């Protein structure tokens, strides 16, 4: 049986959202020589008001990077024993949005007292091509914190 493809992940906790301001909370950047395939992503909120308006969750591909964010080191899920490193770079908690345009974005509305976990159907995953940026961007109606993450190969 062949070895599994290396899979990587990154997550961030307690990312503060400011009311009515779009914020990229997680970004994957591909190099010019390879792409990546997100297979699972999640967003969870710590809101306490069941009557609060839903948070707009945008997930997809953008043409430019966010300008200021924290670099996160991806963890290896099933390839660590082989010393394989991810070819993509991960950033969390952007403080300024990038100027890039969206080339594909799916939008969800999620209660700030809840969350969403998406596992892409095998064989139908979105492929992020070389020199591209995959993001999770959130816009909340009220201040709330988010926990986010993604797994990819």
Give me the tens of pLDDT residue by residue for the chain, a chain 153 residues long.
455 677 888 999 999 999 999 999 999 998 888 889 999 999 999 999 878 899 999 999 988 888 777 877 777 766 555 555 666 788 888 887 766 777 888 999 999 999 999 999 888 888 898 988 999 999 999 999 999 999 988
- At residue 81, φ and ψ (nearest 5 deg) are -70, -15
Q: What is the pLDDT of residue 77?
A: 67
Domains of the chain: 8-152 (2.60.120.380)
Q: What is the pLDDT of residue 85?
A: 60
3-state DSSP of 121-132: CCCCCCCECCCC
* C-alpha dihedral sign at 51, 19, 136, 75: negative
Q: What is the pLDDT of residue 69?
A: 72
Residue 98's contacts (CB-CB under 8 Å, 6 or more residues apart) are 24, 62, 64, 65, 66, 67, 133
Residue 137's contacts (CB-CB under 8 Å, 6 or more residues apart) are 22, 23, 24, 25, 57, 58, 59, 97
Answer whether 0.85 is exceeded by the pTM.
yes
Q: What is the pLDDT of residue 1?
A: 46
3-state DSSP of 76-119: ECCCHHHCCCCCCEEEEEEEECCCCCEEEEEEEEECCCCEEEEE
């Amino acid at each position: 049986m062949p070895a599994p493809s290396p899979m990587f992940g990154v997550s961030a906790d307690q990312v503060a959202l400011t009311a009515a301001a779009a914020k990229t909370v997680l970004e994957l950047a591909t190099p010019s020589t390879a792409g990546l395939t997100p297979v699972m992503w999640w967003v969870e909120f710590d809101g306490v008001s069941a009557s609060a308006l839903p948070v707009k969750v945008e997930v997809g591909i953008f043409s430019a990077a966010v300008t200021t964010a924290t670099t996160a080191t991806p963890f290896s899920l099933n390839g660590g024993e082989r010393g394989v490193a991810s070819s993509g770079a991960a950033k969390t908690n952007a403080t300024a949005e990038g100027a890039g345009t969206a080339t594909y974005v799916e939008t969800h509305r999620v209660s700030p007292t809840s969350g969403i976990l998406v596992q892409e159907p095998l064989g139908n995953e979105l492929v992020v091509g070389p020199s591209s940026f995959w993001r999770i961007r959130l816009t909340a109606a009220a201040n709330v914190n988010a926990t986010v993450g993604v797994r990819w190969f």
